Amino acid sequence: MTKPASIPKFGLHNFHQLCDELAASDPDLARVIETHGYPPMWNRPNSFETLVHIILEQQVSLASALAAINKLREKVGSITPENVLQLTDGELRDCYFSRQKTAYVRYLAEAISARQIDLPAMENLPDEVIRAKLTSLKGIGNWTTDIYLIFALQHADIFPVGDLAAVNALKRLKGLPKETSREEVLEFAASWQPYRTVATMLLWHYYLSSPARSERKKVANEG
């Protein structure tokens, strides 16, 4: 099955080109590239493990989430719905899962096992359909869906307004006050359509490259 042309995507073949196009129309993004170089093209496989990892990243440091996913991998070998569902809550706690994250990951594993969620089929669906499917599951909100669309599916026009790193980087880059509203942030991001994902990666790159960010590995999002 071919991918619908209506779903804008990006990849290694055109990532730098899209960065350059954004920089040509936005001097602030151009300055990021001039100062820090091109950002990595962050990506992850379209898999159950990736969604588990993103759930673990909700409201904790990236290092803590990585420690948990690595511990789970040590425990089960292959992180699949079937293997995770065989674990007790205690075994998941031993993998640094909170009670809440344990429940969320179980809901996801059960939904995939029951074929309520079909990850390969997501490759050919538009943003709004994917968002409706994923946010119907307890523990998956808009931030988790945004990160999945960006990292796993490489959808090109996503701005994760629930991601503090991206939002704070935008405010600092544009010289906006801290109290700038969500709506105003989205208005600024709209100028980067149809490549808001690529702009987001430039913002993350700027955020991570800033020497002032001693807490730059902390992400905050929906619970």
Tokens (6 digits) for 2: 């071919």
Question: Which whole number is the average pLDDT over 28-49?
Answer: 97
Q: What letter would DSSP give residue 173?
A: H
Task: State the pLDDT at residue 213.
Answer: 54
Task: State the pLDDT at residue 215.
Answer: 41
Task: State the pLDDT at residue 8.
Answer: 85
Determine which helix (DSSP H) or strand (DSSP E) holds 51, and give its type and residue range.
helix 48-56
pTM: 0.90
Tens digit of each residue's pLDDT (9 = 90 or more) over 157-167: 999 999 999 99
Question: Which whole number is the average pLDDT over 26-52?
Answer: 97
Residue 210: pLDDT band (50, 70, 90) is: confident
| All domains in the chain, ordered by first residue | 15-42+157-209 (1.10.1670.40), 48-151 (1.10.340.30)
Q: Enumerate residues 6+ apart whose C-beta is below 8 A from 23.
A: 29, 30, 32, 33
Query: Using CA atoms, how far apart are residues 14 and 11, in angstroms rounded to an integer?
Result: 6
Average pLDDT value for the chain: 92
Task: State the pLDDT at residue 214.
Answer: 40
**Per-residue pLDDT for 201 more than 80?**
yes
Amino acid in position 88 = T
Tens digit of each residue's pLDDT (9 = 90 or more) over 98-117: 999 999 999 999 999 999 99
Is 218 in a helix, a strand, or coil?
strand
